[in-house]
Structure formats: structure tokens, C-alpha cells
Amino acid sequence: MKFPKNFLWGGATAANQVEGGYDADGRGMTILDVTTAGGLHAGRQQTYKYADGMTGKEAEIPQDAAGAVLPGEYYPNQVAVDFYHHYKEDIALFAEMGFKVYRMSISWTRIFPHGDEQEPNQAGLDFYHKVFAELHKYGIEPLVTISHFENPLYLERHYGGWNNRKMIDFYVHFAETLFTEYKDEVKYWLTFNEINNTIMFLDLFANAKDEQYQAAYQQLHYQYVASAKAVQIGHKIDPDNQIGCMICGITSYPLTPDPQDILKNRHDWEQNIFYSGDVQCFGEYPSYAKRLWAQHDVKLDITDEDLAELKQGTVDLYTFSYYMSSAVTTHETKETVGGNFTIGAKNPYLQYSEWEWADDPMGLQYYLEVVNDRYHLPLMVVENGLGAIDKVEEDGSIHDPYRIEYMQEHIKAMGDAIENGVNLVGYTSWGCIDLVSAGTGQMSKRYGMIYVDRNDDGSGTLDRSRKDSFYWYKDVIASNGEKI
């Protein structure tokens, strides 16, 4: 047996991409509720639109954030796949696949509609009690991401979001509320989803200016402090809590053996991957941080108390997403990879998905071995999967051999890493149920093993059905990864 006996097999989602119910039971708006299809990346405009027709960062903030939606515009995250009203059915399907763990996130504005309140919204707290009870009914352990890409709109507009040090207190109060409320229901937590992409995506999208690096490094610092404080509180409330960091794991290679490419690749790893992991796992800024800051003339607001917090608040687990690898070079390259962002040079040894993401299972093994050596912490792959267009047959069946093949190869790579001594404790495939793409806002970029009848334009019955991969994954879990 390659996989350890209690290996945590499961699936992963995020509140903003599945829940919908955006104005139900007192929930406040998040930035993603006012984002028309396509928010995070190129092709998905992150201009907020307001009922008064104003757009963009300079627009006046309506006092009531719920007014910030324009009629006639389509906002895919507002309904998403309506997990809010389908959670029982969905969790039953997860249980049928044999999930041991379900990674989900909590919508901040269900609990604190604006984000700066003292008192939580009881109806919001109740919803997650119901979800956790349903999971436990089937013996599924929740793994909860505290913040997954969805800042409260109010905090964004009134305080400038993570540019403001005050966000630390708002976040910590939110986290403490969750640790207290769900003490007996949740023991696995992640503080921030893909925390490193604040910096990483600057490189991927365009020639970012120094001011953008300045802002990104400062936001990250506040998030690291917020995370470290949350970890300490989480441990105090329940010493059994296992709290992890979550890193966007893209394995980067040098395109050529030119030493300049080799060094650039190493430095890219430092900036994009190691910087966040080092602060969260080691509790201090790495030596190369000075070089990274100097490169963009970055001057940070970091206090001695902050540094003490970082030291005290190191994580118990290192978790990451893995979809693809990238290749970097100092040379001119004709062949670059586009997709929903520029991921660098085209690697001639790899195949690419429809969204031009490189299919590279060995890159997962490589990544696992690197971070295993570096951190000596339990590791979890908390996102992995293939975004693809699925076809529903006349009889309602959905044949997705491409998705099965992608997952087979990545599970095999994890087994090989475990055989090489890697301490991997779990795997939650991304979008175990179809959901709204973070990068493009599409429904048609599907990751699920459960199909949801919902289309890019918002049409569809929201009915659920099992894809071929559903039955295949069920066997994988039942055989603890032996039968792939």
C-alpha cells in the first residue's frame, strides 16, 4: 500500500464559487458578488459596477452594499451552483464517493455582513452548523478555509481592504468567532487560500509596476500577521486544531540549461512560492526577502510586535493547490502560453489543456519532494483537477475520460512521492462538484465529478448528475489509491 491507512481522500470547493444565496438570511455582499463574469484575471474584469452606474475604484460607495448590482448585468457568483439550498443532496453525493474530508470555505459576509461588526449574524453561523452536521452524519471531516478570495465589499470600499492594517483585527475577530463557534465540529483549518498569489499573479499577468509590488507585499505582510494571530488563537481555543497555510503551487522550471535561466528560476521560486511558505512555516522573513523588496523599491510597515506574532503563529500543515507547471527563461521565446494569464514559456515536453494549463503530474511529485524537504511538515494537496468542457449524452450520462486520466496520473505521482518519503496526508480534488471558475467566471470550465446543469449565461435547472469520474473516484477511495 502506497497511501497511508488514514489518508484523507476528498474534494474541495470555495463558498463564493458554489454557495450562491448571496443575499439570503442577512448575508452581506463580497467583492465577487459585484463582479461580472471574470474577476481575478485577465479576461475577467474586476471593475465593480454600482447601481448609480459608476464603476471602478473611484466610484462612490453605496451605503447599502446590496444596491451595488446593476440590473441587466450577470454576476455568476451570486447564484453559483446554489449549494446554499442543495447542500444536503451534494453532501450525500460526496458521501457516496466515500469522501473522508471535504474542503470548503466560510463566506465571511454570512457571519459578518459588513466585516467590521462585533456581533455575528446568527443565521449565517447556523448555516455552517447545518453543513458540518450533515458532513459528520457521513463521517466526513470538514477542512475549512477561513478566507478564500472573498473580501467583504464593505471592508474593501470603506477601508481599502488589505491595504489597511485594520484588516488584521477584522480578520482575527472573524477567525476567533469561527474557532469558538465550531470548536467541536471542525479541527482542520486553512487561514488564507493561495496567499502567495498576491505576488505571483503580478508576474503572471503583465509588467506590473513597483507601486503594485509595494502594495502587494504590504497586503501580504498584514495577511501573514493576521494568519499568525489566528493560528495562535485557534491553538488556544483547541490544542487539537490543525491549522495550515495554503499556497498556490505552480512548479517552475528553467526553459534552458543557461545558468541565467537556472538562477532566474530559483529566484522565481523564492518570490512566488517560498516567500509565503517560509514566513508561515518558519515564522520569520527569509534572508532573500531583502533582495525581493529592493528589486521593486519596496518599503514595508512591519513592527517588532508583528515579527513576534509571526514567530508565535507558525502553521501545523503545509497545503497547496497544484494544477500545472511553468517554464521561465531570460531568453526571447516565441512560444508563450496564454490561457487566462501568461504562464511563461511553452514547455515542449508537455501537453496543454483548453485553457493552456500544462498537464504535468511529475511536476506535482517534484513540488511535493521540494516542500517536504524544506518544511518537514505534513503536506496536503488541497486542490488539483482538470477544467474541461463536458458533454451530456442523450441518455444523460457524461463521459469524462480526460478528467479520469488527469487525476490518475496525479494520484500516481503522489504515490511515487510518498514512496520517496514524502509525508503526504491528504488529497482534495478541486471542484468535486462543478462550480464557477475563479479565473474566468465560466461554468463551462468544469472540474466536477458531479455535473451541475448550469450554463455560462445563468440558464439551467441546477440538477446534479454523476459523471464517469464519479464512479472511478469512488473506487480510488475504496481501494485507498490502489485501484486507479
Binding site for ligand P53 (CB under 6 A): 14, 17, 40-41, 193-194, 248, 321, 323, 383, 387, 430, 437-440, 445
* Torsional class of 25: left (φ above 0), alpha (ψ -120 to 50), beta (otherwise): left
Cα 54 from Cα 376, distance rounded (Å): 50
For the CB of residue 12, give the shortest distance to ligand P53 in the complex, in Å: 8
CB nearer ligand P53, residue 418 or residue 443: 443
For the CB of residue 445, give the shortest distance to ligand P53 in the complex, in Å: 5
Backbone angles phi, psi at 443, to 5 degrees: -90, -30
For the CB of residue 304, give the shortest distance to ligand P53 in the complex, in Å: 33
For the CB of residue 441, give the shortest distance to ligand P53 in the complex, in Å: 9
- Is 383 a catalytic site residue? yes
**DSSP assignment of 281-307, as one string?**
HHSS--TTHHHHHHHTT------HHHH
C-alpha torsion 464→466→469→471, nearest 10: 140
Q: Which residue is nearest to ligand P53 (CB)?
A: 439
CB nearer ligand P53, residue 193 or residue 372: 193
Choose, from 141, 156, 309, 383, the residue flagged as catalytic: 383
CB nearer ligand P53, residue 372 or residue 428: 428
CB nearer ligand P53, residue 121 or residue 272: 272
- Is 60 a catalytic site residue? no
Cα 206 from Cα 226, distance rounded (Å): 28
For the CB of residue 1, give the shortest distance to ligand P53 in the complex, in Å: 30
Q: What grid cell was written down for 143? A: 477542512
Choose, from 19, 156, 194, 309, the residue flagged as catalytic: 194
Backbone angles phi, psi at 363, to 5 degrees: -65, -30
Cα 109 from Cα 66, distance rounded (Å): 12
Q: Which helix (H) or strand (E) holds 405?
A: helix 401-419
For the CB of residue 145, give the shortest distance to ligand P53 in the complex, in Å: 9
CB nearer ligand P53, residue 229 or residue 445: 445
3-state secondary structure 224-266: HHHHHHHHHHHHHHCCCCEEEEEEEEEEEEECCCCHHHHHHHH
Cα 47 from Cα 182, distance rounded (Å): 35
CB nearer ligand P53, residue 21 or residue 249: 249
- Contact (CB, 8 A) for 474 and 97: yes
Active-site residues, by number, are 194, 383
